[in-house]
Structure 1
Amino acid sequence: MRVHAVLRRRGITMGRKRVERLMRRAGLQGAFLRRKCRAGLHRGRTQQTVGCRCHPDPLRQGAFWLAAVRDAFSNRIVGWKTSDRCDTDLVLGALEYAIWSRDVRDGQLIHHSDRGSTYTAFRFSNRLADNVIAR
């Protein structure tokens, strides 16, 4: 339970059940994550909710990509970049911003990503190696 963990980090000692009870009395409910797989859905596609209106794209310029680097320790986005193309320059820009914003020293980081072509490109691998960032 996140609220309980935050209270403990702030030095407030209180039982998990008490936190649950107080939240319930106050009408608060913790956020919960959706299930990753749902029956009937294929990978990469979603189903439209019945009765939900679809809003048109006002710009009509196609896809807009976002690459983000999240610090797993602080759970914060430390680097990001947007582009109209999903290419190595996009993820390199996000990585550069993350390295700059966190003042990273050699050997302090581990980078984890999917196996997409942008993250397995030679330029991206070389940039990780230049900063002694492990994979």
Structure 2
Amino acid sequence: PRQITNVLAGIRPKLYGHGTNVRDWIHVHDHNDAVWTIINKGTIGETYLIGADGEVDNRTVIETILELTGNPTDAFDFVTDRPGHDLRYAINSHRLRTELGWQPQYTDFRSGLTDTIAWYRNNPDWWQPLKTQVENKYAATEKAIN
């Protein structure tokens, strides 16, 4: 979301390290559906990992965001990676799928990202005031560190 709102607000996005860090990206509707499935069908005290088999590296994510918003795919800046930044988050949602019967509906990364970008484009009144607060907090933290 921060990268999408940065691009939509005209802020050049930043990419940590080489952008090779991998995450399991999941559409918000699938995530919410998984949470409801766990609440309604899960066993109290058990752990259910939520994942959509959507592993994509961060560079591909930012390049796709830029492409889908009509920007050059190289319109981002590399920044020094955070110390100890995990290279991969591996999610095994087998229990959620087999025991509770949940399956993701948004299995195409690009179409899910297109849908997400459209939501942000159509709802600036919701996110812009919050983004201003968050960005001001980040700026104050950076200033204090430096």
TM-score (ref. length: structure 1):
0.21
- Of structures 1 and 2, the one scoring higher in RCO (CA 8 A, sep 6+) is 2
- Flag the structure with higher helix content: 2
With structure 2 as the length reference, what TM-score do the two structures score?
A: 0.20
